[in-house]
Structure 1
């Protein structure tokens, strides 16, 4: 092999190594651009969402402090769709439930069972008709009043990261005596009293699934 050929081979190998590095950087930048494009798409999606209704109930509505007191729920010719332009998932639903009643809604997948509960929290807004609880049209109330005064129990027990106190009183509005009363109603007072830090004890891994469900229920 002549010296000139050896030099040419060496230069070619160095150039090949540089080309590999350039290709790796090019692939990496393409991946970064793709990730950034997804982020932009999500931001655009949020920007295109219609704003929710007002958080606070208008003063002229004069909502009672103890609403809902009785729990009479009425769906009046209620229809709703997932989004504007899509077919109705619930059409002209009319039903009433009364205090103390236990009502089961059954149906196949996609028949609108979950949509009923989402509509109670105004996660889905009515296309036509209305929902009335204890004489109050939910559409006339602020989202905070509606969602803070109605409780939903999910099928799977769920708790937040944090202490017992933070899970029982996430808004930090209750006194210690009220928190202990809630734990007593859930039959968990003795369990929490035996924890090293009591109300400040991290709740993860402390309660069983059944106990978590009881905590949610109360």
Structure 2
């Protein structure tokens, strides 16, 4: 298995996804877009993982590599690759497939529960999640008006579209299951000015007070990837 990931800023790497890839003997390559590195050919990987970042999908003038990145995501989807987007990554996928990304009514930063749809709970990819799992959020935008081929599978009190599945092999998650403690610490260091207390924005002390949530999220990330690997290898998706 060959996994390629797209990283937008130095402090948001794939975290526990890299640990899972190592345990599964996957070949991992990366494009550090913030260093203007060249994107790979779509045939160079099996899975494409698109990470988060503080920029928005429409800031092409400030981040000109967004245009080429979207083209690669589109090519990967058309080539039936597995594509997984985390936060900004999910919004980039949504834009590529014809959805719309807008500013959410409020920012969502910290540990908040989500709820999966009944359809998602019936899928082996998500059936292991408990009711109302607490996951990590750090986003201000959200995707809306997704195409009919995309199914919204999760919601939270602050954001009604938390995750979607598109054509069985493409997944967008607004929330972060992959973040490790160093990543969260770096997010606070680099983007902490966004943490203005509100109904859905927690302070740094509260975010850092829950190492048990990090361990649980990373466990769920690995369980999802395990199921995804099995289903793709067996030809179910």
TM tier, smaller: under 0.3
Q: Relative contact order (C-alpha < 8 Å, sep 6+): which is higher?
A: 2
In our comparison, the structure showing a higher alpha carbon Rg is 1
* TM, length-normalised to structure 2: 0.25
Structure richer in strand, relative to its length: 2
Structure richer in helix, relative to its length: 1
* TM, length-normalised to structure 1: 0.26
